[in-house]
Amino acid sequence: MRLKNIALFISFGMLFASCGKENHNLKEYMVDSWQTTYIKIEMPTFQKSDSTHVFEDTFENNPARIVQSSYKDDGTFTTWSLNREGKRYGDSKGTWDVKGDSLFLEFFYDGRTVKEAYFVEKIENGFKGKSLYDWDKDGEFDDLLQMRTKRIELKE
């Protein structure tokens, strides 16, 4: 019986250690610069109506706006947009953290403080994110945002 308890304790210890390592790895992975390559926001009760509204962008064919961001290891990040000419505008600063497989952000956008969490999945040279938030400002946190990014190098 004592041997079983020791084996169980070791198993749980390895599980917690591996979870902590994955959390640390995702945090390290996020410290970089990223460009959004795909975004889709599904708003099922668009502004308290019975209509569904979907916003989707693949950022192809010379889009009017490309979104980029940079995450620093001190827990801060900056996000901005590039216009068609490549000129940067709309910088917004915030804080970020990782817990498990989730990325937590807090920043100021569109006249309000945004606090959101993304389920993050690493992909080759980027990550996918999913989040429920109130993007249509109707008081319901029922809008599903899905995104993909790619790693970028910033020109200093």
Report whether pLDDT(43) > 70: yes
CA 103 to chain centre: 6
Report whether pLDDT(123) > 90: yes
pLDDT of the residue at 24:
57
Q: What does pLDDT average to over the chain?
A: 84
pLDDT of the residue at 88:
95
pLDDT of the residue at 156:
60
What class does CATH assign to 2-152? mainly beta
* Mean pLDDT of the region 96-114: 91
* Mean pLDDT of the region 121-147: 91
* Mean pLDDT of the region 109-117: 86
